[in-house]
Amino acid sequence: MISGVMKRCAAARGVCSGRMRHGSAVLVRLAVVLSLGWAGTASAQAAGDPAPRPREKPVVNLPLSTAASGCTAQLLEAGAVFRATPSPPAGALGCGIDDPVRLDSVAGTVFRPRAVLSCVTALKLVRFLQRPLTDEVRATMNTDVKTVHVAASYACRGRNRQAGAKLSEHGYGRAVDIRGLTFADGRRWDVSPRRDNDRSPAARLQRRVRALACGPFTTVLGPGSDAYHDDHFHFDLAPRNAAYCR
């Protein structure tokens, strides 16, 4: 091909000498590239190399909220079903959650609605449900817990929803309110005011839940504490020197 171009330019008395030189250089480079490619392919085939694989995508480091922190690893080990969720904006009240998660279920027991909590609070709730609460329900009601009815989890608000009050532990994702349970046999148990001399299984369970939660949680409030907690238990992990249970 190159010699043919040179002959035609010579017949044209050198008019296309510049074009010839440029074209020749391009053709020479093309020939070299093709020869190298053929040589590489032949050598690879001779060596039995597989076809080239696509370049692997780079590994992206996940932020803490979506990575498996030590706490979320323990949640997974406990059998909890949850999702890491972005921390809500602090807003004017200064709310926020450390390592927030949305807790869905654990070992067949579901939370309705899902509870948005700090991971540490979620882990404490899961462990409380798995051992002392489940054992007490079996002993008192002769059944298992199917659903935990959540009255409140994360909420950026003052205590007892009062304007100007100190920020609630709900505003840090460190509190959960439980209004009742549905059992595996279909019965429903609700937190409600009950007399001290009530010896029914439902009343005994309510007293036991209050006692068992005091210690694992630093604050336990419920019926009899005040009018704000007559229909649910409030459990939180407020920093305290000793548990506050009423």
DSSP state of 232: S
- Considering the domain architecture, whether residues 39 and 98 belong to the same structural domain is answered as no
pTM of the shown model: 0.70
Structural domain includes residue 91: yes
- Considering the domain architecture, whether residues 17 and 103 belong to the same structural domain is answered as no
Structural domain includes residue 55: no
In tens, the pLDDT along 87-144 reads 888 777 889 998 999 999 999 999 999 999 999 999 999 999 999 999 999 999 999 9
Domain that holds residue 13: 2-47
How many domains is the chain partitioned into structurally?
A: 2
Inter-CA distances, 126 with 3, 54, 123, 140, 157, Å: 84, 44, 5, 20, 24
In tens, the pLDDT along 170-221 reads 999 999 999 999 999 999 999 999 999 999 999 999 999 999 999 999 999 9
Structural domain includes residue 65: no
- Considering the domain architecture, whether residues 129 and 88 belong to the same structural domain is answered as yes
Cα(171)–Cα(169) distance, rounded to whole angstroms? 5
- Considering the domain architecture, whether residues 43 and 78 belong to the same structural domain is answered as no
Structural domain includes residue 82: yes
As to burial, measured by CB atoms within 10 angstroms (0-12 exposed, 13-18 middle, 19+ buried), residue 176 is buried
Q: pLDDT value at position 69?
A: 64
- Considering the domain architecture, whether residues 40 and 79 belong to the same structural domain is answered as no
* Long-range contacts of residues 101-104, Cβ cutoff 8 Å, at least 24 apart: 101/72, 101/75, 104/80
- Considering the domain architecture, whether residues 241 and 185 belong to the same structural domain is answered as yes
CB 146 within 8 A of CB 184: yes
